[in-house]
Structure 1
């Protein structure tokens, strides 16, 4: 893992840097630290993960702020403190982070670390929705629709559904007569193409081939990951997801991966594939039993599938 970080930073540091290059290098270094902390967290070493996130957060890293807030909220690596969690979410939100904005909205909505304040919640949902946060778009749209602002509410619900990743928004629209977004079963050719693509990914995971693991993901794909016992989603690039897999494998002595039969649905903009993946990660005497609830959005071109959207909800078994 340290060797990987050195290689990545070495490539950046091997040429003279301008001011913008300095900033890019700092961002790259921080992302490596974030992904390193992800892998430590995933192994269940919460005390160490808390310290890594704390250092990142105090240095101004937004992902560090979010994850430190998550750990305060869940009482992982520290005592449960919803006030501290909200404080770190607010700092991330003030720094422009849409997930932080959503968490602040949610705290005001249901009273987590602060008295419930529906008006303040709506204001923060609006801010997060305008930053393309699907959860906030759904929450805002549903709230407005229930208040009788049907056109405004539906516009936000459609925005969440268009991202292909918010099942509640899609189900809401599918229930409306004439909306035309109800999902249907793919035909046999589509089904076989998607299953073949997922099989290639599964084979790559089983042999720990990180390049093959991400080969079918488009470079501009929208990727989100949620770690065990966390409420917040983290947006990653394809390269960052590759690095996270690399560091996950570096944390393990033994690794097992198995996908259940996926559920496939056809929509106007491709195929949705919902899968349950079971992971076992072992290092020394420590073993983690995880489940990945995967939602993948795939395009089919000439019988070949590529992934343009991916959500990985990683949970501890039984969570």
Structure 2
């Protein structure tokens, strides 16, 4: 099984190198899906052997997955700093999930020094790039559930978050909820 996976990685890596970007992205997505399926089945060695080359080839989704594996101690020994390094590489490549994950590193002090300024910088960037987790977390900073709360919850609702839609409805922002429901 491992030999088959390695051969598959080599073939798909060659596809990534020699074909146009659209085909390369599709090949990378397929590889990442296979890695995540192997991970879900508990075949951590297979997941690792697929994700590592993708991450080193600067594929942002793979860099984020690798960051999670290091940060949370799955597949690799628990190394939060290395996990946050991978999140940062993927975040700098424009990956919203990694931007959010990096903000969590700065918020918790797990893998990065606790730093609210950096946490807000990355969380806001993640939200502006479509991360509903970041939007919802930013809304919770407004303890009065005023304009900042409403702005970020409305953004999350606009991006399809049921949680945000219900939260707006519970806060009597029915106009925002109605607009979100018709806008989709």
Task: Name the TM-score, length of structure 1 as normaliser.
Answer: 0.48
Structure 1 residue 182: deviation in Å? 10
Q: Distance in 2 between matches of 1:101 and 1:73?
A: 14
Give the length in aligned residue pairs: 170
Q: Distance in 2 between matches of 1:72 and 1:166?
A: 30
Map of 1:1-319 to 2, 5 A cutoff?
22-143=20-141, 145-146=142-143, 150-167=146-163, 169-177=164-172, 179-180=173-174, 269=181
Structure 1 residue 35: deviation in Å? 1.5
CA offsets, 1:248-287, max 9 Å, x none? xxxxxxxxxxxxxxxxxxx9738xxxxxxxxxxxxxxxxx
Structure 1 residue 67: deviation in Å? 0.8
C-alpha contact 1:47 1:76 (8 A) present in aligned 2: no
Q: Distance in 1 between matches of 2:157 and 2:26?
A: 32
Structure 1 stretches of 4+ moved >3 Å:
none
Structure 1 residue 99: deviation in Å? 0.5
Higher relative contact order (CA 8 A, sep 6+): 1
SS in 2 for 1:39: helix
- Change in Cα spacing, 1:181 to 1:43, as seen in structure 2 (3 Å) is farther
Task: Name the TM-score, length of structure 2 as normaliser.
Answer: 0.80
CA offsets, 1:72-113, max 9 Å, x none? 122222100100110000000000000110001111112121
Q: Distance in 2 between matches of 1:28 and 1:77?
A: 25
Gaps of 5+ in 1: 14-18, 184-266, 271-307, 309-319
Which structure would you say has the larger Rg? 1
Gaps of 5+ in 2: none
SS in 2 for 1:269: helix
SS in 1 for 2:75: coil
Q: Distance in 2 between matches of 1:268 and 1:103?
A: 27
Structure 1 residue 117: deviation in Å? 1.2
